[in-house]
């Protein structure tokens, strides 16, 4: 309730009146203020121009950067495609080598059998089987 008492005791606002005429000292004080306002306006215009220039430079830089990124992506895509082609070619060559080696191994095995000899790996497998069988009997 103290607030309502305080607001009730305040006088009503006086209507706005026209300012009294300025004295000569007030006019002298306003002259430097007007100069400062003019300087600030010029400075603001210069800054606005510089900002516009910087925005334009930024857009140009972004455009150049975007095109350079596109060039690099295209180059990387070509390199990736080239590497994939080379990898597939190497896989194919290794598969051919495996097939050739397997065929040669089969040919050697067949030749040895034709001469009455057995594959060395076959002999060692047979020996291992006999040794394991004898060990189980004991």
The pLDDT, as a whole number, for residue 6 is 47
Joined tokens for residue 28:
């002298």
Which pTM value belongs to this model? Answer: 0.45
What are the structural domain ranges in the chain? 26-137
Chunked into runs of 10 residues, the chain (138 residues) has average pLDDT values of 49 52 63 88 96 98 98 98 98 97 95 75 54 52
DSSP-derived secondary structure letter, 10: S
The pLDDT, as a whole number, for residue 33 is 85
Of the candidates 85, 86, 64, which has an alpha carbon nearest to the alpha carbon of residue 72?
64
């Amino acid at each position: 309730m103290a607030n309502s008492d305080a607001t009730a005791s305040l006088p009503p606002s006086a209507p706005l009146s026209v300012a009294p005429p300025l004295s000569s000292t007030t006019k002298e004080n306003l002259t430097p203020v007007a100069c400062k306002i003019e300087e600030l306006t010029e400075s603001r215009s210069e800054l606005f121009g510089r900002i516009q220039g910087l925005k334009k430079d930024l857009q140009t830089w972004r455009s150049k950067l975007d095109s350079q990124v596109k060039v690099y992506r295209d180059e990387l895509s070509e390199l990736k495609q080239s590497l994939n082609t080379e990898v597939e070619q190497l896989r194919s060559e290794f598969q051919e080598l495996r097939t050739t080696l397997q065929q040669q191994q089969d040919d050697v095995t067949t030749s040895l059998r034709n001469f009455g000899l057995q594959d060395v790996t076959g002999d060692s497998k047979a020996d291992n089987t006999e040794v394991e069988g004898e060990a189980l009997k004991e």
